[in-house]
Structure 1
Amino acid sequence: MRRHPLYAISNEEKIARYAHVMGDVPWSIADRAYTEAFARLPEGARRELVADLRAHLPTESQIPPTETPDDFARLMRDLHARSALVTCRHAGDVALAFVMSRTVAAFYRTGAGSLSIDRQPPWVHDLAEHETAPIDGGTTHNGRGAVTGLW
């Protein structure tokens, strides 16, 4: 199995990659990815994350109890909650777990995301275990002889 380079990147890059994926995936995929991401966090980190979110969210926002991964996924449907998430202490951990979730990988490997995989950044190719095409796009007639007729 290949080692994912996502582990060695900064929190800012993790959040940028999370934002990229959020712009690509439908809500059904995002819900499952949030569920997986929250479930991967240790119990203490979950409690801290929820407390941070509550502190950053506007008071008029209705904050449902967020004790289970499914509750967290429902909370993340709210734009204010997603905005607050990136300011929390565990934002990088959640972003990394979201991007590396089985659900997101499957979206790019075999789901609708696989249709645009060639236009995705290289780290998405790694995530989906997709072999990146060579620079010439796989053409066999890129030699000098093909252009001039000389081999």
Structure 2
Amino acid sequence: MILLTRKAEFSSAHFYWNDAWSVEENERVFGRCANRNGHGHNYTLEVTVAGEVDPTTGFVVDLKELKDILEREVVSVYDHRHLNFEVPEFKTAIPTTENMAIAIWQRLDGKIPHARLHRVRVYEMADLFADYYGER
């Protein structure tokens, strides 16, 4: 087995807010991130797949096909969007880096031919990222 990682980038806006809490509690817990106007990030996504190297092609997966899947399932949905308002999974979940990693996993799981999804890593900033390895 070998692991292969592909990167993609997208820019999105979001804010953190729990509707069950008061304004004061949201501001206490989330600080400036509770600003309902939102703020943006240039995200980097790393998707790692696991599989066997095909002896004919030398690939674990078709790299163009993997790029196209990431574009279709994630980048085209998240890029230049306000996550809270425009991305379905964040109508009910706070779009934290952790929840984004889980949501992206769910978008990709089972859609990558000839390989198993191993890890989704979402960088919100160069020094902040979340890894998700699925339900194991």
By percentage of residues, which structure has more helix?
A: 1
TM over 0.5: no
TM-score under structure 2 normalisation?
0.25
TM-score under structure 1 normalisation?
0.23
Larger radius of gyration: 1
